[in-house]
Amino acid sequence: MRLTRYFLPVLKENPAEAQIVSHRYMLRAGMIRQQAAGIYSWLPLGYRVLRRIEAIVHEEQGRAGHIPVLMPTLQPADLWRESGRYDAYGPEMLRLKDRHERELLYGPTNEEMITDIFRAHVSSYRDLPLTLYHIQWKFRDEMRPRFGVMRGREFLMKDGYNFDIDREAALHAYNRHMVSYLRSYERMGLTAIPMRAASGPIGGDDTHEFLVLAQTGESEVFYDDRVTALKLGARAIDYDDRAQVAAVCAEFTALYARTDETHDPAAFAAIPEARRKVGRGIEVGQIFYFATKYSEPMGAVVVNEKGERVPVHMGSHGIGVSRLVGAIIEASHDERGIVWPLEVAPFPVGIVNLKQGDGAADAACAGLYAALAARGIEALYDDRDERAGAKFATMDLIGLPWRITVGPRGLAAGKVELTSRRTGESEEMSPEAAVTRVAALCGGRAG
């Protein structure tokens, strides 16, 4: 993408309304625009990151055997009357009426609707296990929308729902979600710690939240420092292997890690003092097992092996897709701007032309751009007629992992400069070598 043909409305000044760094940088980097309290448009750069996060979530859910669907944002109120949540949900639910005075709501979550789909089409244990999910906009009329996309009113969520024959099968689904979530967050460059939590309006006793440690997080967290070192890494997971998946979950939940809602001061005090940590965290996901809370009142029943009609065991599992954009920035930035992890970066590499209009520099940049494209790498080429300082400031602000700098002086010696946004380290090399190196560095990343 050539910057002169793109839409990147960067702001020079710090927006007064932004209290935390991710909100500030998202506004300054032209990623979002607020349209009403807690409601945002996603501008091209922000939209790219959002799409990349979605793609990771889809891939990892696919690996776990979970099936994508798409349910609407508007839901009939009557479905929610069946579960008893229409009245229980309170003022967070946006309620509306259509021209026929039929009551609708803008979905804050989808337990009822997915249960309705299930009961209409599934009636035998032979069709289980089944896990369906979607990535769809939600609305919660939060009392205090704040921190940009972190606590929005309209926000993008991945929500998945498992249907299983009994508690054991449903707990395996719970564990599959935990592992696939850990893998998703790791791919986004995040350490997200599963912490035992409270279930709130979703229900059930078994629930974990996933927290990214950050000073600006809304939850107070208490944890054994060793939990922050756990990594899934490249280990192979067989999602059908109940024992293996359970063992991974046991490994990641054995050490003390809780939010203020479930904190147990006595258990915490038993951890050696040097490892006892109190901090703050951003909740980027939550998983629930709630047995038959929705299947019983809504009649989601299957015939089991013995020919008996039994309500299915369910759970629901959410990832805050739009919140993650802010959470990643909170976890990865410096005083000059965002530092995107490669997998979620809007572009993997930027090209800075230090002297636009110089024949050799223009030709070298065009050549680099084409050679990268031929290897499937889309660069953001800053071809504006701007001073070098302004171009560097923009690149630093938008945080692309790699920058290739091209100028007449370097080119006279056959060199361009490759710079890492994260370390600031630069190396001179030929344009061909820069292309090969960037291709190698971008390894697994598509696009």
Query: Which lies closer to ligand 5CA via its Cβ, residue 132 or residue 379?
Result: 132
* 75 is a contact residue toward ligand 5CA (CB under 6 A): no
CB 249 within 8 A of CB 210: no
| 56 counts as binding ligand 5CA under rule CB under 6 A | no
For the CB of residue 290, give the shortest distance to ligand 5CA in the complex, in Å: 10
Near ligand 5CA by CB under 6 A, which window of 47-55, 229-237, 280-288, 423-431?
280-288
Q: Rounded to an integer, what distance in angstroms lies between the CA atom of residue 434 and that of residue 416?
A: 8
Asked if 328 touches ligand 5CA (CB under 6 A), the answer is no
Least CB distance from residue 318 to ligand 5CA, whole Å? Answer: 3
Tokens of 277: 């940590």
> Is residue 217 a contact point for ligand 5CA (CB under 6 A)?
no
- 155 vs 256, beta carbon nearer ligand 5CA: 155
Q: How many CA atoms lie within 13 A of 70 on its CB side?
A: 4
Q: Is 129 in the site for ligand 5CA (CB under 6 A)?
A: no
CA distance 34 to 41: 6
Segment 159 to 198, residues that bind ligand 5CA, using CB under 6 A: 159
Question: Closer to ligand 5CA at the Cβ: 262 or 304?
Answer: 262
Is 402 a residue that touches ligand 5CA (CB under 6 A)?
Answer: no
Q: Least distance to ligand 5CA from the beta carbon of 311, Å? A: 19
Residue 389 class from Cβ within 10 Å (0-12 exposed, 13-18 middle, 19+ buried)?
A: exposed
DSSP 43-68: -HHHHHHHHHHHHHHHHHHHHTT-EE
For ligand 5CA, which is the closer residue by CB, 30 or 318? 318
Q: Please report the DSSP string for 139-177 in residue order.
A: E---SS-BTGGGB-SEEEEEEEEEEESSHHHHHHHHHHH
Smaller CB separation from ligand 5CA, 28 or 317: 317
Continuous segment of H or E residues that includes residue 380: strand 379-382
Residue 343 binds ligand 5CA (CB under 6 A):
no
Does 22 participate in binding ligand 5CA (rule CB under 6 A)? no
Comparison of 181 and 347: residue with beta carbon closer to ligand 5CA: 181
Q: Which residues of 123-151 are buried (b: 16+ CB within 10 A; e: fewer)?
A: eebeebbbbbbbbbebbbbeeebbbbbbb
Comparing CB distances to ligand 5CA, the nearer of 285 and 401 is 285
Q: How many CB atoms lie within 10 A of CB 376?
A: 11
Please report where in the chains the tokens 């065009």 appear, as a residue: 366
Kindly determine how many residues on this chain lie close enough to bind ligand 5CA according to the rule CB under 6 A.
Answer: 20
Q: Tell me the window of 216-224, 272-280, 281-289, 412-420 that interacts with ligand 5CA (CB under 6 A).
A: 281-289
Binding of ligand 5CA at residue 295 (CB under 6 A)?
A: no
For residue 248, count other CB atoms closer than 10 A to its CB: 20
Strand, coil or helix: 189? coil
**Which distant-in-sequence residues (6+ apart) come within 8 Å of 189 by Cβ?**
328, 331, 332, 341, 342, 343, 344
Position among 18, 29, 202, 395 found at the interface with ligand 5CA (CB under 6 A) = 202
Q: Classify the phi-psi angles of 241: left when phi > 0, otherwise alpha if psi is within -120 to 50, otherwise beta.
A: beta
Does 320 bind ligand 5CA (CB under 6 A)? Our answer is: yes
* 436-441-442-444 Cα dihedral, nearest 10 degrees: 110
Closest residue to ligand 5CA, judged by C-beta, is 320
Q: How many CA atoms lie within 13 A of 188 on its CB side?
A: 36
Residue whose CB is less far from ligand 5CA, 286 or 419: 286
Helices 44-63 and 167-187 cross at an angle (nearest 10°) of: 140
Residue from 316, 332, 405, 419 touching ligand 5CA (CB under 6 A): that is 316
| Residue 131 within binding range of ligand 5CA, rule CB under 6 A | no
State the binding string over 136-155 for ligand 5CA (x if CB under 6 A, else -): ----x-x--------xx--x
Q: Which is nearer to ligand 5CA, 150 or 395 (CB)?
A: 150
Euclidean distance between CA atoms 118 and 51, whole angstroms: 28
CB 343 within 8 A of CB 188: yes
CA dihedral 189, 194, 198, 203 (to 10 degrees): 90
Return the residue of 129, 194, 281, 318 that touches ligand 5CA, per CB under 6 A. Answer: 318
Among the listed residues 83, 184, 286, 405, the single contact to ligand 5CA using CB under 6 A: 286
Which C-beta is closer to ligand 5CA: that of 136 or that of 356? 136
Nearer to ligand 5CA, 280 or 384 (CB): 280
Question: Residues in the site for ligand 5CA, rule: CB under 6 A?
Answer: 109, 140, 142, 151-152, 155, 157, 159, 202, 283-286, 288, 316-318, 320, 322-323
